[in-house]
Amino acid sequence: MKTLKLGIAGLGHVGCGLVDLVQRQENLRLPGQVEISGVTARNRSRNRPVETDSYRWFDDAAKLAADESVDVFVELIGGSDGPAKVAVETAIKSGKSVVTANKALIAMHGQALAELAREHGVDLLFEAAVAGGVPIVRVLRDSLAGVEINRVTGILNGTCNFLLSEMLDTGKSYETVLAEAQRLGYAEADPTLDVSGMDAAHKAAILAAIAFSADLDFSKVSVSGVDGVELLDLDLADRLGLRIKLIAEGKIAGDGVVCRVEPFALPKNHPLARINGSLNTVRVEGEPLGAVTLTGPGAGPGPTASAVMGDVAKLFNPIARPAFGHAEHHARRKFVVAEADETAAYFVRVKLMDKAGSLAELTEALADAGVSIDKLLQDSADEDGAAPIAIVTHLCSRKEISNARERLQSLASNVGTPQIMAIEASSE
């Protein structure tokens, strides 16, 4: 029976989850035996839920990566630069395959690391970097190689999905639900990476690069989070038959690829609108497939560690796969910024002072921007005398809706910042 010896860098929740899987591997369906040759982490003396004292300890991740006793280097440190990047580069140059769960590293440096892995004839695997226990990287790269994919969308951050779902279900404010998410372990003490949309953007960029044979360029990814979404927005959207979700999107646009993460308003019958709590889901559209949706737990030590172990299992028969599935003969696309003439319907929420002529000013401002109204919902004024108004527009361009945003913001009767979200077309 073949044995693979792992060097594990990072003993946080995922690292300990992986150690636990190794220690009880007789219950798994691995094609061989896995051993741990060495480990490293920031704090050697930290109390951990698994026994690690019997493993050889390294103070330097790069030294572990280069050690002759290691067959596969598993990077679970995190961060796009610093020790993680140095250690992964060291492992590849030492002729070792790498398994990582580090989405930021792959999003920012994946292209260069993939090329380095190709030069040295080793594998760079990162299933665990996107959607945890949902095997979307493998599905896109391998199972759907015979599909001409034109769009990938998904809910790729369980923290944000929990926040939006819980706010709508309970009627609690963003701040209250965020505190609850932190208490339950769904959100970090500093949730910025999640709620800003950056975590989902790293994952979206990776999926787009695989799906469209594109050179990953994170600088072209448009990112907006949920930290500006109010309970009022969720409630008004719901009354108009819509659900607000933080959606990651990658799609073909001419000869390039547009990749973005932002809150979308989805019809209630849309498959992604039905995903609540901390689940992740990815929808792939293409020919001749049509559409397929994968859903499952997207974070946590269990799902992520299982994805890491799945990649390790592939290395019992290493074949130096192209990391993003791009063979040298494939035509490569570029990441591009969305064109101003891209069209969609939009959900618009404004607050206007409750006085004569306010609504007329609003509709005139939209008309002047070239935006027409499909539906309009007006609520009673609040204690400050501001009346919330929700609008569903007809199709209009990004340029027109951007112009409309500026006009609405400058209205004398406007209170606060208008909320504007693209409406996803219904899939049914």
The distance of Cα 60 from the centroid of its chain, to the nearest Å, equals: 30
What residues are paired with 33 via a beta bridge? 3
Q: Which of these is catalytic: 203, 220, 245, 314?
A: 203
The H or E element that residue 17 is part of is helix 13-23
Q: Are 163 and 278 in contact (CB under 8 A)?
A: no
Return d(Cα 5, Cα 356) in angstroms, integer. Answer: 75
CA distance 77 to 83: 8
CB 128, CB 14: distance < 8 Å: yes
CA distances from 245 to 92, 153, 208, 221, 412 (A): 38, 11, 19, 18, 31
Q: Return phi, psi of residue 289, to 5°.
A: -70, -45
Q: How far apart are CA 293 and CA 284, in angstroms?
A: 6
Distance, CA of 393 to chain centre: 28
**Pairwise CA distance, residues 106 & 111, whole Å:** 8
Residue burial 31-65, b: 16+ Cβ < 10 Å; e: rest: eeebebbbbbbeeeeeebeeebeebeebeebbebb
Whole-number Cα distances in Å, 90 to 61, 72, 315: 9, 12, 18
The answer for residues whose C-beta is within 8 angstroms of residue 94's C-beta and 6 or more apart is 65, 66
Residue 228 burial (CB count, 10 A): 12
Report the alpha-carbon angle 21-24-27, nearest 5.
100
Q: Determine whether 334 is an active site residue.
A: no
Q: Which two tokens stand for residue 280?
A: 């992740």
CA torsion through residues 344, 281, 173, 269, sign = positive
Angle, alpha carbons 353-359-364 (nearest 5°):
125
How far is 388 from 405, CA to CA, in rounded Å? 16
Annotated catalytic residues are: 203
